[in-house]
Amino acid sequence: MSGNFIYFDNINTTFPDEEVVACMEQALHSKLGNPSAHIHSAGIDAARLLDNSRAKVAALIGAQPDSVIFTSGATEANNLAISGFMGANPDYQLAVLSIEHFSIINQARKSKLGGRNVLFIDVDRTGLANLEQLAEFVRSGPTLVSIAYANPEIGTVQQVEQICRICRDQGATYHCDATVAASTHAIDVGKLGIDLLTLSGHNIYGPTGIGALFIEKGVNMRSLFEGGNQEHGIRPGTENIVGAVGFGKACEMAVANRMKWSREISVMGCRLWQGLSENVPFIHLTGHPEKRLAGHVSFWVEHIEGESILLLLNMKGFMAASGSACSSNLKGEDETDLVASHVLTAVGVPADICAGSLTLTLGKYNTIEEVESVINIMPGLVEKLLAMSPSYSDYMRKKE
Amino acid sequence: MENKSFPYSELVMEHFSNPRNMGEIENASAVGNAGNPNCGDLMRLYLKIEDGIIIDAKFKTFGCGAAIASSSMLTEMLKGKRLEDALKISNQAVADALGGLPPVKIHCSVMAEEALKAAMEDYEKRKNS
């Protein structure tokens, strides 16, 4: 990253902690063998590092180390959770939240096309799952339920305890994608009763290219591809040891610090929303007002378009994200690749209004001074775009 | 070397950051609206026409970087043009003048062309009324 940028896009990726980088560098220099080479010391050293990292990841969620499977990231873990489970359990139906990540939604669509009974669970205007609809569906037959702990785009944190209770009462299997919640929420899979849980390295100040799926003992799973016996044969292929070392270190640091991070980030997030809502006209929060991720501030502004604000912010040195169609797939082949966010449309924001959405997400490296600087700069950027907006002119004329 | 990871050309960013001719024309000779229902973009083009020549062009646009840059570039291309020459300005000409647009953003230049056609239709209608 060049220049003095202020990073408010922690929901999409967090920068690895220096201690994580140091551990990975050391591992890279350690002449590690293949962890499946159980006889020679280079292999044994690698296997030991891998086991050690696995234990740290498991400790993050209160799990036994042998129930954690390393994957290439959250997308693969989500694919393994849904397709690996549904493939091994042909009598199951599937219920997924309508605002899940595409790695879940697209599998559910595929399952439906393949003839499986699939429910896309509705959300209310704050993004909370309709639990009555879920309860009714799980009563109708054996079900895999997939509802993320929190939504990255609107920040809403689900009522996970209640979801677990519904699933437990009806004998349903529950998969929870905890990718964006694990750095600030203490999640105990045993206490909650979660059967499958997704984690990602780069969302918890660890590296990209590594994630994990927790699989409760007794849950019947099938591998997504053929290969060797690595990861109990559930995820064949030589493990990403260096990635696992970094991920393990990141999890260890999160266990020690996540409550502190959560507190500090939460204070900054509250100030950010307070400052923006008081100073930016036509601003509306998306997601739940209270049940939301620490430091997650998502909103839309009437009469202006999200990509334009993102570009202006970027020119001033602030990095953020938008759910606007116009910024959805800039590398696509044609305009049909631009679609309004399925999350925002599911919570009832019309497609043309989705255009003005913006998501600012704080992390442990942010400071209150950075928050104050974006609060100061945002009204001017919005004013600039309002002055260009024909819908704003029409609004003002009507008002007069 | 051009940064291929960034979707917009330097010229697009220049027009986006410093849009030319942004605003409205009081007592405009013609006004044209065009929109894109997919993403909610909206462009409004104002023209002042005298003796068959566009003597002033302004715009207001709700839209992304490409939409604002296309609007700005179109108004620059229109000023001083005779009406029959203005009508020959295509979306491709606007995109080319901006140093190209990403494939997903070509519709922004189409919106500019459509706003121009709408303004011309409005001009004809006003003339005949």
Contact yes or no for B91/B119 (Cβ under 8 A): no
Beta strands A93-97; A143-146: pairing state: parallel
Q: CA B115 to CA B46: how far, in whole Å?
A: 9
Q: CA B105 to CA B65: how far, in whole Å?
A: 9
Q: CA A210 to CA A200: how far, in whole Å?
A: 6
pLDDT higher for B35 or A268? A268
Q: CA B69 to CA A152: how far, in whole Å?
A: 31
Can you give the pLDDT at residue A334?
Answer: 59
Instruction: Mark yes or no for CB contact A305/B102 under 8 Å.
Output: no
Can you give the pLDDT at residue A125?
Answer: 95
Nearest CA distance, A166 vs chain B (angstrom):
39
Can you give the pLDDT at residue B40?
Answer: 75
Choose among A327, A331, A390: nearest Cβ to B44: A390
> Does residue B104 lie within any of the structural domains?
yes
Range of the domain at B102: 10-128
Terminus-to-terminus CA distance in chain A, angstroms? 47
What's the average pLDDT block by block, 10 residues per block, for chain B (129 residues)? 71 94 96 82 94 96 92 95 94 92 86 94 91
Please list the residue range(s) of chain A that carry CATH number 3.90.1150.10.
6-11+257-399
Cα angle B23, B29, B33; round to 5: 60
**Which of 342-371 (A) contact B at CB < 8 A?**
351-355
B22 DSSP 8-state letter: B
What number of CA atoms fall less than 13 Å from residue A233's CA on the CB side? 4
Can you give the pLDDT at residue A282?
Answer: 93
Q: pLDDT tens digit string along A112-169?
A: 999 999 999 999 999 999 999 999 999 999 999 999 999 999 999 999 999 999 999 9
Dmax (CA) for chain A in angstroms is 83
In terms of CA atoms, which chain B residue is nearest residue A356? B63
Please list the residue range(s) of chain A that carry CATH number 3.40.640.10.
18-254
Choose among B37, B41, B103: nearest Cβ to A334: B103
pLDDT higher for A247 or A304? A247
In terms of CA atoms, which chain B residue is nearest residue A322? B64
Q: Is the pLDDT of residue A361 over 60?
A: yes
Token reading at A2: 């060049």
> Does residue B92 lie within any of the structural domains?
yes
To the query of whether residue B39 is one of the catalytic residues in this protein, the response is: yes
Indicate the number of domains in chain B: 1
Instruction: Mark yes or no for CB contact B7/A330 under 8 Å.
Output: yes
Which one of 2.40.110.10, 3.40.640.10, 3.40.50.720, 3.40.50.150 gives the CATH number of domain A18-254?
3.40.640.10
> Does residue B116 lie within any of the structural domains?
yes
What is the CATH classification number for the domain harbouring B20? 3.90.1010.10
Helix, strand, or coil (residue A135): helix
- What is the ipTM for the molecules in this complex? 0.89
Q: pLDDT tens digit string along A218-261?
A: 999 999 999 999 999 999 999 999 999 999 999 999 999 999 99
Can you give the pLDDT at residue A35?
Answer: 95
> Does residue B74 lie within any of the structural domains?
yes
A305 CB near a chain B CB, below 8 Å? yes
Domain covering A6-11+257-399: architecture: Alpha-Beta Complex (3.90)
Q: CA B56 to CA B47: how far, in whole Å?
A: 6
Choose among A308, A355, A392: nearest Cβ to B68: A308
Q: CA B28 to CA A245: how far, in whole Å?
A: 67
Instruction: Mark yes or no for CB contact A353/B102 under 8 Å.
Output: no
Neighbours of A103 (CB within 10 A): 19
Neighbours of B115 (CB within 10 A): 25
A284 DSSP 8-state letter: E
Nearest CA distance, A155 vs chain B (angstrom):
23
